[in-house]
Amino acid sequence: MTEEFFEKKLAAQPITAIPGMIAFDIPVHGDNRGWFKENFQKEKMLPLGFPESFFKEDKLQNNVSLSRKGVLRGLHAEPWDKYISVADNGRVLGSWVDLREGDSFGHVYQTVIDASKGIYVPRGVANGFQVLSETVSYSYLVNDYWALDLKPKYAFVNYADPALGIEWYDVENAEVSEADKNHPLLKDVVPLTKEQL
């Protein structure tokens, strides 16, 4: 993987292309033994713009997925807000698409995430990522409880839709689930209304 590719992604469309998304720098303190970070600290992050509304439902849950190099997951919009971070030494190419009704419908944001970056994603914005390291632990702090029976409330868009203009790394060799391969194109996605969110 070329550093030129990563630099291009880091300098791509600004996060403000999708209203409500916020990026946070996370200090990582390390030495020859390893490292430590405060992945999320409410009192420190609220003044930086983290929305107080995230906590209004009082149902917080932290989910972690483990994926190996080359895996590509997404693009899924769940019925909750989420704070995303990398919990280990891994690195992903994160991609988001706004599926909410309004002027920003279909807008895309893409960047590289490692342990030093956290991303707040409002509900209705589809999330996906491609693993760039050998493995990655991808952490989601969400404000509703995860359950399989919520799947029908998700919204999806196809990661390979040319209309999105998303540039994945070596996408021809990416490992993608059959479900993700069969998600609809953006032109077939019905925008999510405020009532659905």
**Active site positions, annotated:** 76, 140
Phi and psi at residue 183, in whole multiples of 5°? -70, 155
The three-state secondary structure class of 39 is: coil
Residue with tokens 């009704």: 101
Handedness of CA 59, 68, 40, 38 (dihedral sign): positive
Which neighbouring-strand residues pair with 120? 22, 83
End-to-end, the C-alpha distance of the chain in Å comes to 38
Count Cβ atoms below 10 Å from residue 98 Cβ, excluding itself: 26
Rounded Cα distance between 105 and 100, Å, is 6
Strand order in the sheet with 155-156: 108-113, 92-98, 125-131, 72-77, 155-156
